Structure 1
Amino acid sequence: MSTSVNSADMQHQKLGQAVFAVGVGNFMEWFDFAVYGFFAVVIGQLFFADQSPVVALLSSLGVFAVGFLMRPLGGFILGPIGDKYGRRAALSFSVLAMGLATTAIGFIPTYADIGLAAPLLLVLMRCIQGLSAGGEWTGSAAFLIEGAPTNRRATYASVISATAALATVAGSGFALWLNNVLTQEQLLDFGWRIPFWAAAPLALVGLFVRLRLDDTPVFKEIQRNRGVDDARKPTVKRNLKAVGLTVCFAAVQGLGYYYLATYVVNYLEVTLRLARSDALMLSAIGLLIYMVLCPLAGLISDRYGRRVPNLIGTIGYVLLPVPVFLLMSTGNAVLIILGLILLGAMQCLVSVTTVVMLVELFPASTRATGSAIGFNIALAFIAGPGPYLGAFLASSTGSPVAPAFYQVFVALVALIILLKWLPESSKQDIFSDDIHWHAKTIVEPSGVTRNPERKPA
């Protein structure tokens, strides 16, 4: 692809609106993630009513897991749409599908009303949610970063990480508020539906803003060069190394977030037997601290690159989970928050660098497809099962530290691979299809080799 792009055309003309458009869609995805998890017990009672309470809960969580399993398929569908028809088209489809499916869950009749059709419809809506989520995170990364200032890509990438945390806190807080203001009968009757109905206005706002924006400068350049020297265009098969590395760092990032956002609440409540309100409050504090740290991680990455901060975060996930779970196992609120701060510090480093590397490691014309495939494979099959494996390890071993072992194992395997093969991508020309791999250097399209870890004169 030609790289002769005017500097005035390298950024979004409406960068603030692009940030808002990405933030709204990402917020909605993770808001749904939080409220479904909180109301899993209620949904199990209403949609699997002919089963025991335990089986009903497991069935509800199984439906929740379906969304994860559909994410890779969503990447295979929405990724090519983003590469062929534009980042805006893929993101608009994603936010619309997510909004419709989430809102529809709030209107599905229960098992008592329509029998077996109720859980079948629930599964269908979760499949649609999973498909749309499969393109949302990576699509948001491409849409935002492809129009961000070159020297501030990671700072803007931090918006995606931070809005996920904010949405999780908001979703859990909203659900907790409903539990406090409604009776159990009201909650079972209509209260659990309210958060799902709230997705409708969020989706409409997100869709309206996204449709009003131009596509990214990178995709405009792809369109200008479409049909020119197509024989030299990269294919997804040529992205396999980037896909493999994405699986590694996305597994660490996704597992860390799912532990921080969902498993910690259950750990504090079930394993340590704290009151649910206390568990939610402590978890929310940890997420809010993580959210505040995300922009700082972006600034660090823009100053020192992607490789070093990501490796520091990954090493942190090898060394810190066992001490953190020892701190939390005391049940002391101060030590629990200290442990969550340590996890949040590592998580912000791996999360923000993951978002920006999803863009920088892939050729422009196959970026949406390649990044979506690698990212969603990691989330579906490695990170997604994390909270369930953590709970299994805690219950089967009787050790409050056992959930840390899975996190350490995943981070250690990823670290071995990333130390050897992860390149420094911060100086990569994201308009180009020419990406040359080396562990610590980048060969730019001009053919000049340089070390991005050394600050240019």
Structure 2
Amino acid sequence: MPNSSSTPAPPRVSRQVAIAAGIGHFLEWFDFAVYGFLAATLGRLFFPTGNPTTSLLASLAVFGVAFFFRPLGGLVIGAFGDRVGRRAALSLAIIVMGICTIAIGLLPTYATIGIAAPVLLVVLRCAQGFSAGGEYAGAAAFLIEYAPVGKRGLFSSVVSAGAAFGVMFGGVVTLGLTAALPAEDMSAWGWRVPFLVAGPLAVLGLYVRLRLEDTPVYRNLQETREVEHAPLSSATRHSRKGILLVFACTSVTGLGFYYLATYVNTFLTTKVGLTPTSALQLAVIGLAIYCALCPLAGMVGDRIGRRPTMLIGAGGLALVAVPSFALLSTGNWALAITALLVLGWFEAMANVMLGVIMVELFPARLRVTGSSIGFNVAQALVGGPGPFIAAAIGAALTFAVAPAFYLVAVGTFAFVVLLKWLPETTGTSLFSNSSHGVDTPADDLSRKASLL
């Protein structure tokens, strides 16, 4: 049986792999971030109610609705990745994402076509969610299956930082347009520009991905005739433990990322009273800090292990959420940046480890499917609705730190679950068709015994 450490990719190939995995993830989160940063504008244009808060909540609800289609995309594209290959799944995901994002940029508003405008927006957002459902797990598997065994955490940081860089670039583009255009021009046509930028990015991402071979792990599955032809049914039968652990990890990391990526901007404008330009500037600075911290978090995970790094990240987010929002609520830039630095560090530790854990927990033949299920169900139920829930809590309660309570609750839940059940997976062979995420006969006996 080959070992991942014995067949390291040449440096040139490693760079190409990092670009191939990172650019698609960058595009996915750029597309989603632009929607989040423009939530207030899109609320007025597609959900005109006469009440700014109601319009904003409607726009954020559509942001969350897309996440309910992520599990479907994860099932379809994830199974495709285990049956046909990691590269094919990633190519399909970036094609769908690019087409849908361009279509949103061309979509007429409510003033032009009435109720059809929000309906079409919802449809396109759901298609984006379907595409995104197969992107993260596929990108993580593609990248880490090429990585040297001692640098998987560092390689995983490419996926996490790529997501943040996509959000940051979306913020920079939106910030530039907001600063350069009068409010009426921004509402008339300026909001379309970021969505239309996705076209050439999608073509570039597809080109880079198609130039590479599939991963050594998948090629080994083909050579040994071990490719799984029914990955969905096999994963739900044999990898339930891994799926549940990925759900717990993703619950806190996904929610933490969406707080940093979208809700911080909303909070600073609606609750703190900063101008949209100032709020976007702070949000972009926070994401830049997070990007810089991701490689450091990956190296920490490679040195001390996946389990302690993930536990520190999840527990840390629960502990610092309220103090961080208290600092953000002051409107003071130095204090706000301090809050973003603290949140960003714990989020980086948890998020970077998520990418490695979801690869190392599962056997090679079920890796993309199993990790996609846990990841996308958590995003649909916990992470995706996060900005909407946070905004609703903020609207219902008068004190400024109230939106942090949701992150505290989810972080505490994840920490307790992972403390009890998350194994240490550092050094796991990625070529193996048995892993920490497989329910063995012993696991089945333990479960039955616990019920007696």
Normalising by structure 2, we get a TM-score of 0.91
Match of 1:16 in 2: 15
1:26-41 aligned within 5 A: 26-41=25-40
Aligned ranges 1:60-71 → 2 under 5 Å: 60-71=59-70
Cα drift, residue 84 of structure 1:
0.0
| Worse-superposed segment, 36-45 or 346-355 | 36-45
Report 1:337-356 matches (<5 A). 337-356=337-356
1:258-308 deviations in whole A, cap 9, x for unaligned? 111111122222212122222222222221111101101111111111011
CA contact (8 A) 2:64 2:388 kept: no
Aligned match of 2:99: 100
- Tell me what 1:188 maps to: 187
Which stretch shows the higher mean deviation, 408-417 or 329-338?
329-338
For residues 5 and 148 of structure 2, the distance between their equivalents in structure 1, rounded to whole angstroms, comes to: 10
Q: Which sits farther off after the overlay, 86-95 or 317-326?
A: 317-326
2:272 is the counterpart of 1:275? no
Letter of the 1:191 partner, please give it: G
> Equivalent residue for 1:442?
none
Q: Deviations 1:19-64 (Å, cap 9, x if unpaired)?
A: 1111111111111112112222332333345765554443333322
Bigger shift: 178-187 or 374-383? 178-187
Partner of 2:266: 266
Cα deviation for residue 323 of structure 1 reads 1.9
Partner of 2:129 in structure 1?
130
Residues 188/432 of structure 1: CA separation in 2 closer, same or farther (3 Å cut):
same
- Say whether the 8 Å CA contact 1:83–1:366 is kept in structure 2: yes
> Residue by residue, what CA displacement relative to the aligned partner does 1:105-150 show, whole Å, maximum 9, x if unpaired?
1112233333333222222211110001001111100010001111
Contact kept, 8 Å, 1:31 with 1:171, in 2: the verdict is: yes
- Separation in 2, partners of 1:305, 1:95: 32
Aligned to 1:452: none
Deviation at 1:11, TM superposition (A): 3.4
Distance 1:327 1:188 in 2: 32
Cα distance in structure 2, aligned partners of 1:374 and 1:211? 27
- Closer, same or farther in 2 for the Cα pair 1:51/1:237, shift >3 Å? farther
Q: Distance in 1 between matches of 2:207 and 2:390?
A: 40
Distance 1:53 1:293, change over 3 A: closer
Q: Which residue of 1 aligns with 2:362?
A: 362
User: Judging changes above 3 Å, is the alpha-carbon distance between structure 1 residues 89 and 328 closer, same or farther for their aligned structure 2 residues?
Assistant: same
Question: Any idea what the Cα deviations from partners look like across 1:421-452, whole Å, max 9, x if unmatched?
Answer: 101111111111112479xxxxxxxxxxxxxx
> In the alignment, what sits opposite 1:114?
113
Deviation at 1:234, TM superposition (A): 5.5
Which residues of structure 1 form unaligned runs of 5+? Answer: 439-457
Partner amino acid, structure 2, of 1:79: G
Which residues of 2 match residues 37-436 of structure 1 at below 5 A?
37-49=36-48, 53-226=52-225, 235-436=235-436
Does the Cα contact within 8 Å between 1:289 and 1:344 map onto a contact in 2?
yes
Give the TM-score taking structure 1 as reference length: 0.90
Task: Give the conservation status (yes or no) of the 8 Å contact 1:145–1:356.
Answer: yes
| Cα separation, 2, equivalents of 1:274 and 1:6 | 50
Deviation larger for 267-276 or 373-382: 267-276
Provide the rounded CA distance (Å) in 2 between the counterparts of 1:201 and 1:54: 35
Tell me by how many angstroms 1:228 deviates: 8.8
Alpha-carbon displacement from aligned partner over 1:345-382 (angstroms, at most 9, x marks no partner): 10110010001111000111011001001001111111
SS at match of 2:22: helix
**TM-superposed deviation, 1:7:** 6.0
Contact 1:423/1:437 (<8 A) preserved? no
Supply the distance in 2 between the matched residues of 1:118 and 1:275 (Cα, whole angstroms): 28
For the 8 Å contact 1:91–1:140, the answer to whether it is kept is yes
The whole-number CA distance in structure 1 between the counterparts of 2:16 and 2:227 is: 32
The match for 1:4 is 2
Equivalent residue runs for 1:435-446 within 5 Å: 435-436=435-436
Tell me if the contact between 1:10 and 1:217 (Cα under 8 Å) persists in the aligned partners. no
Q: Which amino acid aligns with 1:4?
A: P
Is the contact made by 2:265 and 2:279 (CA closer than 8 Å) also made in structure 1? Answer: yes
Let me know the Cα RMSD of the aligned residues.
Answer: 2.3
Unaligned runs of 5+ in 2: 439-452
Query: 2:382 aligns to what SS in structure 1?
Result: helix
Stretch deviating more after TM superposition (113-122 or 370-379): 113-122
Question: What are the superposed Cα offsets for residues 46-102 of structure 1, whole Å, 9 maximum, x if unpaired?
Answer: 334576555444333332222111111111111100000000000000001000110
- What is the alpha-carbon distance in structure 2 between the residues aligned to residue 378 and residue 6 of structure 1? 29
Question: 1:5 Cα shift?
Answer: 5.2
Distance 1:363 1:183 in 2: 54
Q: From the superposition, tell whether residues 199 and 321 of structure 1 become closer, same or farther in structure 2 (CA, over 3 Å).
A: same
SS for the counterpart of 2:239 is helix
Letter in 2 for 1:251: S
- Which has the larger displacement, 419-428 or 272-281? 272-281
| Stretch deviating more after TM superposition (380-389 or 83-92) | 380-389
**How has the CA–CA distance of structure 1 residues 436 and 329 changed in structure 2, closer, same or farther, with 3 Å as cutoff?**
closer
Deviates more, 1:318-327 or 1:422-431: 318-327
Task: After the TM superposition, list the runs of 4 or more consecutive aligned residues in structure 1 that deviate by more than 6 angstroms.
Answer: 228-231
Identity %: 49
Separation (CA, whole Å) in 1 of partners of 2:316 and 2:119: 42
**Compared CA separation, residues 436 and 354, structure 1 to 2 (3 A):** closer
One-letter code of the match for 2:168?
V
In structure 2, how many angstroms separate the alpha carbons of the residues matched to 1:330 and 1:6? 49
Answer yes or no: is the 8 Å Cα contact 2:69–2:130 preserved in 1: yes
Partners of 2:120 and 2:329 in 1: CA distance: 40
- Structure 1 window deviating more from structure 2 (268-277 vs 305-314): it is 268-277
Change (3 A) 1:390 1:120: closer
Report the CA distance shift for 1:189/1:265 in structure 2 as closer, same or farther (over 3 A): closer
Contact 2:4 2:145 (C-alpha < 8 Å) held by counterparts:
no
